[in-house]
């Protein structure tokens, strides 16, 4: 596990370049202290995010995924975040059927000026993930016991 063992959990953030990534920058410029667990992946628009990215991330062992884009009606690309909202809302409801706690995934809207809001979003989400603890590992038994894996 690459995150600091015992101290951090693995949280992946997908942020749109124009609003939320800028909001995270604003939070940095304002020196708003935040938990260190979150790693941010920059994408052009929240509409670029295929829900399967989130699924893949969670199935690959992330403990939490946060998606953040521009506020609805304030999208740099006019309507990308509307598509994102619809896809991600449906996806969140689908998570339990995949055996994943839907609380491990959130999507939110933060504008480039909302440094303080970003601080709050990160802190709250990180706390939420810490409360849930590390995600159960898929196929861990196999990895622990190569002999069994080979037998399969």
Partner 1 sequence: MKIGVFICHCGSNIGGTVDAAKVAEAARAFPDVVFTSDTMYACSEPGQDGIIQAIKDNQLDGVVVSSCTPRMHEPTFRRTVERAGLNRFMFEMANIREHVSWIGKDKEANTNKAIELTGIAVEKLRQDQPLFAKQFDINKRVMVIGGGVAGIQAALDCADGDREVVLVERESTIGGKMAKLDKTFPTVDCSSCILGPKMVDVAQHSKIKLYAMSEVEEISGYVGNFEVKIKRKAPYVNWELCTGCGLCMEKCPSKKSKDRFNEQVGTTTAINIPFPQAIPKKAVIDPKFCIKLTKGKCGICAKVCPTKAIVFDQQEEIVSESVGAIVAATGYDLFDISKYGEYGGGRLPDVITGMQYERLLSASGPTGGHVKRPSDGKEPKTIVFVQCVGSRDKSVDRPYCSGFCCMYTAKQAILTKDHIPDSTSYVFYMDIRAPGKMYDEFTRRAMEEYGTQYVRGRVSMIYPKGDKLLVRGADTLMGTQVEVEADLVVLAAGAEASVGAPQLAEKLRISYDKYGFFMESHPKLRPVETNTAGVYLAGACQGPKDIPASVAQGSAAAAKVLALFAKDKLENDPMISFVDIKRCVGCGKCVQVCPFGAIKEVDFRGEPKAEVIETVCQGCGLCTATCPQGAIQLSHFTDNQILAEVNALCQL
Could you tell me how many residues of this chain bind partner 1 (CB under 8 A)?
58
**CB of 109 vs partner 1, minimal distance in Å:** 12
**CB of 98 vs partner 1, minimal distance in Å:** 16
Site string for partner 1, 39-78 (x = CB under 8 A): xxxxxxx-xxxx--x--xx--xxx-------x--xxxxxx
Rounded distance, CA 110 to CA 40, Å?
14
- CB within 8 A of 58, min separation 6: which ones? 65, 95, 98, 100, 104, 105, 135
Q: Which of 122, 114, 151 is nearest to 30 (CA)?
A: 114
Rounded distance, CA 105 to CA 91, Å?
10
Q: By the criterion CB under 8 A, which residues form the site for partner 1?
A: 1-4, 7-8, 10, 12, 17-19, 21-22, 24-25, 27-29, 31-36, 39-45, 47-50, 53, 56-57, 60-62, 70, 73-80, 83, 87, 111-114, 119, 143
């Amino acid at each position: 596990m690459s995150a600091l063992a015992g101290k951090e959990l693995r949280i992946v953030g997908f942020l749109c370049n124009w609003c939320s990534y800028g909001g995270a920058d604003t939070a940095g410029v304002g020196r708003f202290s935040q938990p260190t667990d979150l790693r941010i992946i920059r994408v052009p628009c929240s509409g670029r995010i295929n829900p399967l990215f989130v699924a893949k991330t969670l199935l690959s062992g992330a403990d939490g995924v946060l998606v953040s884009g521009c506020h609805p009606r304030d999208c740099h690309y006019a309507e990308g975040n509307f598509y994102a909202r619809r896809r991600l809302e449906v996806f969140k409801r689908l998570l339990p059927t995949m055996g994943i706690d839907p609380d491990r995934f959130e999507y939110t809207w933060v504008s480039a000026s909302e440094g303080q809001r970003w601080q709050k979003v990160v802190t709250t989400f990180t706390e939420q993930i810490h409360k849930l603890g590390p995600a159960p590992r898929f196929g861990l038994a196999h990895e622990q016991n190569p002999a069994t894996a080979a037998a399969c």
